[in-house]
Amino acid sequence: MKKNNTTAASHHRKKYKVHEDDQVKVIAGKDKGKIGKILRVDRKKDRVLVEGVNIVKKAMKKRSQNDRGGIVEIEAPIHISNVAVVTKSGSSTRVGYRVENGKKQRIARKTGEAL
């Protein structure tokens, strides 16, 4: 019989202040300073996939007759703590929340503008 080691807290979905389609800036690592759009958020591993960031070479197998296979360059996920949301003006900021007219709205902590 397999023992289940999950706690009550692990059943809750992790919440992050960055979402898909957010413009983010990489603040640490080999691609520090690059700006890109979030393509996917992996809540289980605390990682995000950012467009054009953390490019790695991967050997791909030939899948079909007309598929080439070989070595391709793809984006690899980076840890969520290594990105910061970018405002429309281009500065990186933390994300806060404000309730207006009964609706929760994400705002930039630095400037106060809506995200």
pLDDT in tens, 14-73: 778 888 888 999 998 888 989 999 999 988 888 999 998 988 998 988 888 777 778 888
**8 located within any domain:** no
Supply the range of the domain harboring residue 71: 16-108
Residue 53: burial class (beta carbons within 10 Å; 0-12, 13-18, 19+): buried
CATH number at 58 reads 2.30.30.30
pLDDT confidence band for 12 (50 / 70 / 90): low
Number of domains composing the chain: 1
Asked whether 95 and 107 are in contact (CB, 8 A), the reply is: yes
CA-nearest of 83, 70, 72 to 35 is 83
Exposed/middle/buried for residue 95 (C-beta within 10 Å: 0-12, 13-18, 19+): middle
Tokens of 106: 């994400």
Q: Considering the domain boundaries, does residue 41 fall inside one?
A: yes
Domain annotation covers residue 42: yes
Q: Does residue 10 sit within a domain?
A: no
The answer to whether position 52 is within a domain reads yes
- Report if residue 31 sits inside a domain: yes
